Structure 1
Amino acid sequence: MAVFEKKLSQKLSIDDTVALTCVIEAAQKSADHMVYSVRIQYGPKPENSWTLQKRYSDFVALDTELKIANIDVQLPPKKVFGNFDREFVAERQQGLQKYIDTILGHPLLANSQAVKKFLSPDNYTINQTEIALQHVSMVFRSENKWDVIESLPDIGWRLRKEYILVKPIDQPKIKEILTWCDYGPDKFMPEKELAAVLRIFPSIQVSSTCFN
């Protein structure tokens, strides 16, 4: 759970392109495990920061999700005995800091859904796949030309972009991949107006002019 110095407004659109930085400030024993205080900074403004309490197992879970990218990032190894030794705790804290620094220094990993959710759970807990399936299914019901087969979560890495396997109703043996993308943080028009503009696009005709 995040402990906010100053909670970000729920109405604030989080810009995915703004970098998140992270510092593991302390480690503290809690019952039978260690808890690491992780401070996250969103952009340059000091007030846009928060602190999360993370266990080593949380980092392991993140590492498991990132292995699909096949990028070598070294997570400090597990230790069966002596987990509370002061020297070991300090060494592991340094190792976890190096691990998260490596991730945030890699464009692909830093912008992945898993990392964003790990560092900013309040802003990245929405199930984008479920939303995409709902939106696409609603459109297909109104047109009655396509059927949704399944989502394809293992394709692509971009935030807010989903891939869905679909088939035409009149040719069920044919399968095609449909891409769906949510509105980004730069959206400034009301959704009704934006939808009206998008409906006009297919009817737009542009004449080409050649210059020698």
Structure 2
Amino acid sequence: MSSEVTPQFHVRFIGNTSAEGHTTYVIKVTNSDGASWNVQKRYRELRELSDELKLRYPDNLPQFPAKRFFGNNDPAFIASRQAALEQYLLAVLALEPEVKTPVLRQFLGGPPLSAEQTPSKQHTEVLESMEQKLVNFSLPPAPLDEPEMAMRVKKYGESMKLSVLAQPVDPVILRDLGLDSEAAMTPQTPLADPSKLIAQFPNLKISVKGNESAAKGGETAKK
């Protein structure tokens, strides 16, 4: 009974293209599920893969096809090198059938995403919109322009005024602070809904000037 493990991937060189003096090999990769895809690799990328695999298999790694300095664009040589590279990659997959080395798995790639797995255009737009709205705390805060600063100062002043007017303060103190005492006693926003009060209170208007005149009149009468 054989103890050999069937490789999870199979490769076959199905063609090549040449441009600017460089040859790119088209490799068809098929996994154990039957899915297949193509990857395009140059001789340099295959040699870099071999150099990485030597670190894991220094003794039993198959021989990598030697480099040729002249005649690399000869069609007969390209066909011969393509066949040698295919045999090399098949030997590597037989040496590591489960493809556990990350650099080898990355080299082989993976099947293209299906329609269900591919993010929709709307989904992508939502993600991009969220990324744009996220605050990057590593960047310094952007300076505020004058209109923005003026608006914030105005809102802060209004909030402070409403906070002060909501407290029971002596009208004389409000006058000294430059706040309207009548507005203090009758705020724009009612503190309670009059229709829900148990007892209705009369509408009183208190005038600071009137109180001061009455106080002065009393002092004159005493004199």
Please give the range of the TM-score, normalised by the shorter of the 2 chains: 0.3 to 0.5
Which protein is richer in helix relative to its size?
A: 2
Which protein is richer in strand relative to its size?
A: 1
TM-score (norm: length of structure 1): 0.45
